[in-house]
Amino acid sequence: MLDKNGIAKRIAKEVKNGYYVNLGIGIPTLVANFVRDDIEVEFQSENGVLGMGPFPFEGEEDADIINAGKQTITTMPGASFFDSATSFSMIRGKHVHLTILGAMEVSENGDIANWKIPGKMVKGMGGAMDLVASAENIIVAMMHTNKRGESKLLKRCSLPLTGVGCVTKVVTNLAVFEIKNNQFYLLERAPGVSVAEIKNATEGTLVVEGEIPEMNL
């Protein structure tokens, strides 16, 4: 089974040379730590920066330079700043190649829910609805089950949706899935996790074709 860093490490393998990538808050933010350093990638943050770098050294934080998680950051050579409309032109206009975001629930038809628990928690969707409505290459990073051990990979989402039929790939602490034909296709198992364990933890329709390899991290 993977921890959050393990999920990020696996997703980092999906980041290809020449990609502009938008990373969501939480596990997705960790992906930047694991991207191979022999490829050229630029990270976009929807609050208005392209070419995000690592966190600043202590004492060098700048209140005017933050990411979408409101964390202080630095920029890489070649970076740019822009307004929020330009930022979402990059996203809506499909100029960003890969979007990685977290979710509370994902369904077998590619719906995603990650912004609201009615009566309990309403933080808002931020840029997530814009991202999932337009991006063609979306990877969801999430824990496979909730704190009560219930599956978050469902037949239908129970929470208010963020987007419909948009998720194509899911990486959890247990496995990697592709979503197509209204089903979760099991692609890889996390180290030490059996197909039976994955079946048990998945409420949505699961397709297991042939021998399922263990992830190569």
Minimum CB distance to other proteins, residue 126 (Å)? 4
Active-site residue identified among 14, 40, 46, 61: 46
- Under rule CB under 8 A, residue 26 binds other proteins: no
Gap between the Cα atoms of 93 and 100, Å rounded = 17
Interface pattern 65-104 for other proteins (x via CB under 8 A): xxxxxxxxx-------xxxxx-xx--xx------------
The full DSSP string for 198-216 is: HHHT--S-EE--SPPPBP-
Which of 14, 160, 185, 205 lies at the binding interface for other proteins (CB under 8 A)?
Answer: 160
- Of 80 and 181, the one with the shorter C-beta distance to other proteins is 80
Q: Which is nearer to other proteins, 103 or 161 (CB)?
A: 161
| Spatial distance between the Cα atoms of 93 and 159, rounded to a whole number of angstroms | 28
- Per CB under 8 A, the list member of 126, 170, 179, 204 interacting with other proteins is 126
Alpha carbon of residue 109 to chain centroid: 17
Residue 46 annotated as catalytic: yes
Answer yes or no: are the C-beta atoms of 21 and 15 closer than 8 Å: yes
Q: How far apart are CA 17 and CA 48, in angstroms?
A: 22
Which residue type, as a one-letter code, is found at position 64?
Answer: D
d(CA 56, CA 79): 15
Nearer to other proteins, 57 or 211 (CB): 57
2 vs 101, beta carbon nearer other proteins: 101
* 110: Cα separation from own chain's centroid: 13
Residues at the contact surface with other proteins, assessed by CB under 8 A: 45-49, 54-58, 60-73, 81-85, 87-88, 91-92, 111, 115, 119, 122-130, 133-134, 160-165
Residues annotated as catalytic (active site), given as ranges = 46
